[in-house]
Structure 1
Amino acid sequence: MTNRLLIDQAEHETRVALIEGDRVVDVVIERQAHRSAVGNIYLGKVSRVLPGMQAAFVGVGLGRNAFLHADDARVLPRARAAAERLSREAAEAAAASAAAAAAAAAAVTAALEPDEDAEEPETVVAAPPVPNARARRLTIGDCVADGDQIMVQVTKDAVKGKGARLTANISLPGRHLVFTPFQGGVGVSRRIESEAERQRLHDIVQPLAEAGEGGFIVRTAAEGATPEELQADAQYLRTLWADLEASAARGGAPRPLHLDLDPLLRALRDQAQEGVAEILVDEPVAYERALVFARRFMPHLEDRIRLWDRPEALFEVFDVEEVIAEALQPRVRLPSGGFVVIDQTEALTAIDVNTGRFVGEADQEATVLHTNLEAAEVIAHQLRLRNLGGLIVIDFIDMERAENRQKLYDAFRAAMVGDRAATTVLPMSELGLVQMTRKRGRESLAQVLTEDCQACGGTGRVKSAETVAYEVMRAARRLLLRPRPGKVAARALTVMAAPEVAALLTEPRLGMVEAVAELTDAVLEVRADPALARDAFDLVERD
C-alpha cells in the first residue's frame, strides 16, 4: 500500500491531503488570512480573572481575548509559589494534627488507668476528629492575577465567537522529540509498535531528560534515529526554550514569542511519517522550500519529495476535490446500501446509522450487525477526514445480542487506532448510543470551507411557503384595519411576495385573499416578485 502526501500551494491558500492506499484520510486547508495559531507561543497579559469559571481571559494579540483554565495554569510562577505555600501550610497543619492526636491519645490512656480511690468509673470523652491536612487544590486566583504577563501556548483556535484556548504547559516539537519544560520523564509515541524499538528509544532519551529540567516525548519520526540525532534534537529544543524564557523576561505583552511552522513545513514535520512513500508538491517555490527544510531537518524525506509539473491539477488526479465535496454533505453512503447522517452542531456532533435499502437475508440481527460494522469503519474515517472534534454521539442501529454490541464496540475502537487526534470512546449505553470525544485543535473542514446560510441563518430550515402566506394575510389584515385619524380607511393593497407564496395567496381553493378582502372591504392585488426571499414580502397601500 503506497501512502502519499499531496501539497497544493496557491498564493494565499495551502491544501494538504494524506492518502493511505487509495483513500484520502486527512485534508488540511489553511488560508493566509486565517492562519491557525495552534502551537504558537505568546507572552500574554491577563485581562480578567473569573473565579466563578476557574479561568482567566488573556490578551495575546489575536483580537479576541483567549481563554486559560486553572487546570492549564498551574505551572505558572505564581501558581508554583502558591503550591509551595499551601504544601508548607498543609505540612504544618499535619504536624499540629499529629501532635493533637498524640496528646488526645495520651489523655485517653491516662483516663483508662484505674484509680483506687474512685468510687465510680471515670467518664472518658473521645478526642475530636483530626482535620484533613492535605493541601487544597489551586484555584485560578492562586495561578494568575489581573495584569500578569505570562507565557502561554495556543491549543485550540478561536471558533464561532469563542476565543482561542491556551495552556501555560508549553510543549516544543522538534524533528524527533517534543520537549515538555514543566513535565519530567520520557514518553514514547504509541504509533511505534515494536517493543524493542520503544525500549531502545526510551533508554537513549532517559539520560537526556535527566540532564536538566523537563522531559521529552519521543515522536513517531524518531523510529530508527541514532543517539547522536536524538541528542542534537534535545539540545536544540532546550536552547530554544532558554531563548523563549529570556525573551519573555523582557516583557512587552502581548506579543508573539514563537510561531509554529507554516502549513507547508508543518505538513512535512507532522504528516510525512515513515509510511509516506511520496510527497508531491505542485508549486516550484513551495517545492524548493520543502527540499531545503528536508535537507536540514528530515534528510530521509528528501528523495521522496517530487515536483508535480503535469498540466492536470494535483487534487483532481487523485480525486481529492471529489472527496472534499462529499465531506461537506451530511449523508455518507455505505457499501451495502445503508447510509450514515452526520449533523455537526455547536454543542456536539450527532451521527445516525440507517440500513437504507439494505435488507440483508433472513436474520435481521445479522443484517443490522453488518450495517453497523460498515458504519463503524466509515464513521472513523469521516471523523478524521472532516476533522470533527468535541463531543460526538453515535446512534448505531439497535441490536439485541450483547455479544454483537461488544463486537461493534471493539470494531469501532480498532477503526479509530489510526487517528492522530486524542480520542476517548465510551462503551455503548443502554440506549444503543456510543459517546466519545475527539480532541479539537483546528476548525473542522466544514467550518473552514462554508459559512452560515444567509436564508436560514445556519439552522438548515426555512419557513414553508404556507407559513409565510398566512403571515402575509395577518399583516395585511392588521394594516387595513388599523385606525387612520383624519383619513379614510385604505381601499386597496398591493402584496409583493415570492412566487411560491404568491401562488398560495391566489389559490382559489384556499381563498386567503378573498377572506381578507371581505373582512376589510378592500381590494387586494397579489404580485409575484422573484427577487424576494421566501420569507420576505412587502405591502403597498393605495387609497
Structure 2
Amino acid sequence: MIINVHENFVSGAILEDGELQEVFDEENETIAGNLYVGVIQKIIPALNAAFVDIGEGKNGFLRISDVGKSYVQQVLSGKQPAEGSKLLVQVKHDAVGQKGPQLTCKLSLPGRYVVYFPMSRVRGVSKKIVEQRERERLRSLFSKLEKNEGLVIRTASEGMPMEIIEEELQSLRQEWQQILSSFKRSRRVKLLRREPTAIDYVLRERLNKNVDEVYVNEEKAYELVKQEVKKISKSIVVHFVEGDLFERFSIYQQLNLLQRRTIDLPSGGYLALDTTEAMTVFDVNSASFTGGKNHAELAFRINMEAAKEIARQLRLRNIGGIVVVDFIGMPNKEYYDRLFKKIRESFEKDPAHVELLGFTRLGLFEMTRKRRTPSSEQLLFSPCPICKGSGRVLSATIVLKRLSNALKEIDLSQYGSVKINLHQRFSGYMEKIKALVPAHREKVKVSFTHPDPNEFEITLSKKT
C-alpha cells in the first residue's frame, strides 16, 4: 500500500507484485456515502420516485420504496413524505453524466469491522470469512442488537477480539443519534455526515491482513498508519520514505496506460476494452502469440491470462455495471470449468460486490460489478474537446473534399492571395491542397496550425 501526501493532498494506491491494483485520490470529488438533509422537489408517481434537493447541484433520485415504515416512524415522526418536506437521505451512487446522484433512505454507517444499519433488521457476516467456528463467534454479536437495528460484519473482523468490535458498534450507535438529532433540528438542505478523507478511507477500507507493507511519505500520516497497523497485524511493515512515492513506484506511468483501449497480455495476446454507459465489453485476442502448441492449449492459456487481467482492470478502472467477456473459443467443457475457477479466484480480492453469471449459449461470459463512485476514467481523464470522447475525427479525404467545395464557391481571381490553414496532420498533403485550385497555385499559401483536425480556415486578401 502506498500513501502519498503532496501539497496537503493525499493519494493512495495498492500494488501487487509491482502491478497497480487500485488508486485513490483525495481530489476525486465523490459524495457517495454522505448523509444529507434533503428537500423533496417533485414526486413522480409513474416512476414511484422523487427528486430531492441535497444542495449538490443536480437533484438526487430517490425511489419511494426505500422509505420504509420504520423510517417514517423514527425519522419523519409518522408523516408520509410529500413535496416540500424534508428527508434524511444517503447518497447511494454519485452522479454520472446527466443523471443526478442516486439516494436511499436505507441508511448505513460503515466502520472498519461492521456496517451499522440503524433502521433495518439486516444481519450478515462477510462471505470471505469461511471458517464456520469464526462465523458463529461473530454472529453472537447479533444478540446485542435492538429489534430495528441491523449489522453486517465485515471481513476485517476475522480474528479480532469481540470487545473491539462491540466498541466500534457502540461508537456508530452514538454517531447515529447525533445525526438524527441534527436532522430533526434542521430546517433546510444540509450536509450531516461526510465520508472520511482519502487517508481515513484507505485505512478503513483497504488496510487489512492482505497488506504486507505500507509506504508513507508524510510524518503525521506515518504515525496514523502505525497506530492502525497495531490493531490489525504485527506482520505489516510500515516504511517512511521521503519524496513522491507515485514517481518512485512508477504509478504515474501505469496510470497513463489507462488511456489505452488495448491491454497486452504476458504471452503476446491482448484485451480490447470498450465501455458504454451501461455495459463494458472485453474481447480476448491471441494476436502474435502462437506458442507452437495445439489450438485448445493456446486458447486456454491466453484465456487464463485474460481472466486475471480483466479482474485487475475492472478493479483498477473501477468499472461497474454489466460486464461481458468474449473469450477465445475452446473445444470442451473441462476447459471452461477451469477458466471459470480462475475467474472466481481472480476476483477474490476485489472489494466491490461481484456476481459471476457464467457463460451464455454464444460462449460469452457475463458478470456484474457494483460500485458507488465514478470510474477512474471519469476521475482521471476529460473527454477530448475535438472528438467528444469518440476517439475519432473526420478522414483527411472528407476534410479536403469540404475544402475543395468551399474554394469553388469563391472567385479567387478577385483576390491577391489565399491563405489556407489546416491541422498539422495535413502537412503531407501540400500538393493535393494546391491541386484543388490549379489556376491559382501561386497565390495559395498553406499553413498547418489550425487546432481542429475536422476544420480549416480560409483567409482572402484583396489585390493591391
Is the pair's TM-score, using the shorter chain for normalization, greater than 0.5? Answer: yes
Where does residue 93 of structure 1 map in the other structure?
A: none
Give how far 1:490 is off: 4.5
Give how far 1:254 is off: 1.0
**Does the CA contact (< 8 Å) of 1:490 and 1:522 recur in 2?**
no
Do structure 1's residue 27 and structure 2's residue 29 form an aligned pair? no
Amino acid at match of 1:226: P
Give how far 1:289 is off: 4.3
> In the superposition, relative to structure 1, how do residues 238 and 466 fare at CA in structure 2: closer, same or farther (>3 Å)?
same
Give how far 1:251 is off: 2.7
Distance in 1 (CA, whole Å) between partners of 2:19 and 2:65 is: 39
Equivalenced residue count is 460
Where does residue 259 of structure 1 map in the other structure?
A: 194
Do structure 1's residue 207 and structure 2's residue 143 form an aligned pair? yes
> In the superposition, relative to structure 1, how do residues 525 and 152 fare at CA in structure 2: closer, same or farther (>3 Å)?
same
Q: 1:100-159 CA deviation, whole Å, 9 max, x = no partner?
A: xxxxxxxxxxxxxxxxxxxxxxxxxxxxxxxxxxxxxxxxxx974211211111122223
**Does the CA contact (< 8 Å) of 1:505 and 1:513 recur in 2?**
no
Deviates more, 1:258-267 or 1:272-281: 272-281
Percent identity (aligned): 30
Amino acid at match of 1:533: D
Distance in 2 (CA, whole Å) between partners of 1:150 and 1:375 is: 46
Q: 1:318-342 CA deviation, whole Å, 9 max, x = no partner?
A: 3333332223322211111101122
**Does the CA contact (< 8 Å) of 2:213 and 2:239 recur in 1?**
no
Give how far 1:72 is off: 3.4
Where does residue 169 of structure 1 map in the other structure?
A: 106
Matching residue within 431, 452, 458 for 2:383: 452
SS of alignment partner, residue 52 of structure 2: strand
Q: 1:411-464 CA deviation, whole Å, 9 max, x = no partner?
A: 222322221101122221222222222112112222211111122121111112
Give how far 1:304 is off: 4.8
SS of alignment partner, residue 345 of structure 2: helix
Deviates more, 1:454-463 or 1:6-15: 6-15
Matching residue within 107, 124, 128 for 1:191: 128
Do structure 1's residue 535 and structure 2's residue 460 form an aligned pair? no
Distance in 2 (CA, whole Å) between partners of 1:426 and 1:300 is: 34
1:55-454 map, 5 Å: 55-74=49-68, 77-78=71-72, 144-203=81-140, 205-209=141-145, 211-290=146-225, 294=228, 299-300=231-232, 304=236, 306=238, 308-311=240-243, 313-454=244-385
> In the superposition, relative to structure 1, how do residues 60 and 500 fare at CA in structure 2: closer, same or farther (>3 Å)?
closer
Where does residue 129 of structure 1 map in the other structure?
A: none
Give how far 1:38 is off: 1.7
> Structure 1 regions of 5+ residues with no counterpart?
85-141, 482-488
Distance in 2 (CA, whole Å) between partners of 1:541 and 1:12 is: 54
Amino acid at match of 1:223: E
Do structure 1's residue 7 and structure 2's residue 3 form an aligned pair? yes
Distance in 2 (CA, whole Å) between partners of 1:43 and 1:309 is: 42
Distance in 2 (CA, whole Å) between partners of 1:25 and 1:523 is: 59
Matching residue within 475, 489, 494 for 2:418: 494
> Structure 2 regions of 5+ residues with no counterpart?
none
Distance in 2 (CA, whole Å) between partners of 1:314 and 1:529 is: 41
Amino acid at match of 1:176: Y
Give how far 1:36 is off: 2.0
Do structure 1's residue 468 and structure 2's residue 399 form an aligned pair? yes
Distance in 2 (CA, whole Å) between partners of 1:401 and 1:339 is: 23
Where does residue 51 of structure 1 map in the other structure?
A: 45
Amino acid at match of 2:127: R
TM-score for both structures, normalised by structure 1: 0.77
> In the superposition, relative to structure 1, how do residues 478 and 145 fare at CA in structure 2: closer, same or farther (>3 Å)?
farther
> In the superposition, relative to structure 1, how do residues 360 and 169 fare at CA in structure 2: closer, same or farther (>3 Å)?
same
Distance in 2 (CA, whole Å) between partners of 1:412 and 1:505 is: 53
Q: 1:508-530 CA deviation, whole Å, 9 max, x = no partner?
A: 8x94333xx6xxx9997241232
Distance in 1 (CA, whole Å) between partners of 2:180 and 2:238 is: 39
